[in-house]
A and B are shown apart, each in its own frame.
Chain A
Amino acid sequence: MSDKTVTIEINGMPVDATAGQMLIEVTDREDAYVPRFCYHKKLSVAANCRMCLVEVENAPKPLPACATPVMEGMKVFTHSNAAIEAQKATMEFLLINHPLDCPICDQGGECELQDLAMGFGRNVSRYTERKRVVKDKNLGSLVSTDMTRCIHCTRCVRFGQEVAGIQELGTTGRSEDMEIGTYIERSVDHELSGNIIDLCPVGALNDKPYRYSARAWEMLAKPLVSPHDCAGSNLFGHVLRGRLKRIVPRDNESINETWIADRDRFSYEGIYADDRLTAPMLKVKGDWLEVSWSRAISEARDVLRTSVGDDGNRLGVLVSPSSTVEEMYLLNRITRHIGSNNIDHRLRMRDFRDQDADPVWPALGMPIAALEELDGVLIVGSNLRREVPIVAHRIRKAAIQGASVGFVNPSAYEYHFPCAAYVEAPVQLLSQSLASVLVAAIEMDGGKASEAVRLGIDIAGINESHRAAAQVLLGKKQALLLLGQITLRHPRFADVRAIAAALCEVTGAKLGYLPEGANAAGGALSGVLPHRGPGGQVARTVGLNASEMLTDPRQAYLLYGLEPEHDFSNATLVTQALTAADTVVCFSSYMTDALLEYADVLLPIATFAETAGTFINVEGVWQSFDAAAKVLGNAREGWRVLRVLGNELDLPACEYRTTADICDALAAELGNQDLDTSYKGRFKPTLEEADIDILALDVPMYAIDAIVRRGSALQETAAARESKSI
Chain B
Amino acid sequence: MSKGALSEQVCREIDHWVAKFPKGRQRSAVISALQAVQHENQGFLTQDLMDAVAEHLDLPPIQVYEVATFYSMFETDPVGRHCISVCTNISCMLCGSTEIVAYLEKKLDVKLGESTEDGKFYLKQEEECLAACCGAPMMMVNHDYHENLTPQKIDEILEELD
Which of A166, A172, A184 contacts B70, CB < 8 Å? A172
Q: State the interface size on chain B (CB cutoff 8 A).
A: 11
For the complex formed, measure the closest distance between the CB of B117 and the CB atoms of chain A, giving whole angstroms. 26
- B70:A173 contact, CB within 8 angstroms: yes
Complex CA distance for A277 and B53, rounded to whole angstroms: 54
- B62:A167 contact, CB within 8 angstroms: yes
Q: Judge if A171 is at the interface, Cβ distance under 8 Å.
A: yes
Specify which chain B residues have a CB less than 8 angstroms from the CB of A167 in the assembled complex.
Answer: 60, 62-63
Complex CA distance for A169 and B60, rounded to whole angstroms: 10
For the complex formed, measure the closest distance between the CB of A275 and the CB atoms of chain B, giving whole angstroms. 40
Which of B47, B65, B72 contacts A170, CB < 8 Å? B65
Complex CA distance for A182 and B50, rounded to whole angstroms: 13
Q: Which of A169-185 contact B (CB under 8 A)?
A: 169-174, 182-184
Complex CA distance for A184 and B71, rounded to whole angstroms: 18
Q: Judge if B69 is at the interface, Cβ distance under 8 Å.
A: yes
Complex CA distance for A174 and B66, rounded to whole angstroms: 9
Complex CA distance for A166 and B62, rounded to whole angstroms: 10
For the complex formed, measure the closest distance between the CB of B74 and the CB atoms of chain A, giving whole angstroms. 11
B66 nearest in chain A by CB position: A170
Which of A170, A173, A174 contacts B62, CB < 8 Å? A170
- A169:B69 contact, CB within 8 angstroms: no
- B60:A183 contact, CB within 8 angstroms: no
For the complex formed, measure the closest distance between the CB of B13 and the CB atoms of chain A, giving whole angstroms. 24
Specify which chain B residues have a CB less than 8 angstroms from the CB of A172 in the assembled complex.
Answer: 65-66, 69-70
A171 nearest in chain B by CB position: B66
- A183:B65 contact, CB within 8 angstroms: yes
- A169:B62 contact, CB within 8 angstroms: yes
Complex CA distance for A173 and B127, rounded to whole angstroms: 13
Specify which chain B residues have a CB less than 8 angstroms from the CB of A173 in the assembled complex.
Answer: 69-70
**Contact residues of B: prevailing secondary structure:** helix
For the complex formed, measure the closest distance between the CB of A401 and the CB atoms of chain B, giving whole angstroms. 15
Q: Judge if A168 is at the interface, Cβ distance under 8 Å.
A: yes
Q: How large is the interface on A (under 10, 10 to 19, 20 to 34, 35 or more residues)?
A: 10 to 19
Which of A166, A171, A174, A184 contacts B60, CB < 8 Å? A166
Tell me the number of A-to-B contacts counted with CB atoms below 8 Å: 32
Complex CA distance for A172 and B47, rounded to whole angstroms: 14
Quick one: which of B62, B63, B71 has the most chain A CB within 10 A?
B62
Q: Which of B62-81 contact A (CB under 8 A)?
A: 62-63, 65-66, 69-72
A416 nearest in chain B by CB position: B60
For the complex formed, measure the closest distance between the CB of A380 and the CB atoms of chain B, giving whole angstroms. 27
Specify which chain B residues have a CB less than 8 angstroms from the CB of A166 in the assembled complex.
Answer: 60
- B60:A168 contact, CB within 8 angstroms: yes
For the complex formed, measure the closest distance between the CB of B71 and the CB atoms of chain A, giving whole angstroms. 8
Specify which chain A residues have a CB less than 8 angstroms from the CB of B70 in the assembled complex.
Answer: 171-174
Complex CA distance for A372 and B65, rounded to whole angstroms: 33
Q: Which of B55-114 contact A (CB under 8 A)?
A: 60-63, 65-66, 69-72
Specify which chain B residues have a CB less than 8 angstroms from the CB of A174 in the assembled complex.
Answer: 69-72
Complex CA distance for A172 and B63, rounded to whole angstroms: 9
Q: Which of A540-571 contact B (CB under 8 A)?
A: none
Complex CA distance for A171 and B70, rounded to whole angstroms: 8
Specify which chain B residues have a CB less than 8 angstroms from the CB of A169 in the assembled complex.
Answer: 62
Specify which chain A residues have a CB less than 8 angstroms from the CB of B65 in the assembled complex.
Answer: 170, 172, 183-184
Specify which chain B residues have a CB less than 8 angstroms from the CB of A170 in the assembled complex.
Answer: 62-63, 65-66
- B47:A184 contact, CB within 8 angstroms: yes
For the complex formed, measure the closest distance between the CB of A659 and the CB atoms of chain B, giving whole angstroms. 46
For the complex formed, measure the closest distance between the CB of B77 and the CB atoms of chain A, giving whole angstroms. 13
For the complex formed, measure the closest distance between the CB of B140 and the CB atoms of chain A, giving whole angstroms. 20
For A153-168 the 0/1 string (1 means CB < 8 A from B) is 0000000000000111
Complex CA distance for A169 and B61, rounded to whole angstroms: 10
- A182:B69 contact, CB within 8 angstroms: no
Complex CA distance for A170 and B65, rounded to whole angstroms: 8
Specify which chain A residues have a CB less than 8 angstroms from the CB of B72 in the assembled complex.
Answer: 174
B60 nearest in chain A by CB position: A167
Specify which chain A residues have a CB less than 8 angstroms from the CB of B66 in the assembled complex.
Answer: 170-172, 183
A178 nearest in chain B by CB position: B70
A172 nearest in chain B by CB position: B69
For the complex formed, measure the closest distance between the CB of B64 and the CB atoms of chain A, giving whole angstroms. 9
B62 nearest in chain A by CB position: A170
Specify which chain A residues have a CB less than 8 angstroms from the CB of B61 in the assembled complex.
Answer: 183-184
Complex CA distance for A173 and B65, rounded to whole angstroms: 9
Q: Which of A133-171 contact B (CB under 8 A)?
A: 166-171
For the complex formed, measure the closest distance between the CB of A418 and the CB atoms of chain B, giving whole angstroms. 10
20 residue pairs from A and B, CB less than 8 Å apart: A166-B60, A167-B62, A167-B63, A168-B60, A170-B62, A170-B63, A170-B65, A171-B66, A171-B70, A172-B66, A172-B69, A172-B70, A173-B69, A173-B70, A174-B69, A174-B72, A182-B62, A183-B61, A183-B62, A184-B47
Chain B residues with CB under 8 Å of chain A are 47, 60-63, 65-66, 69-72
14 further A-B contacts with Cβ under 8 Å, apart from A169-B62, A171-B66, A183-B61, are A166-B60, A167-B62, A170-B63, A170-B66, A171-B70, A172-B65, A172-B69, A173-B70, A174-B69, A174-B72, A183-B62, A183-B65, A183-B69, A184-B65
Q: Which 3 A-B pairs have the closest CB atoms?
A: A170-B62, A183-B65, A172-B69
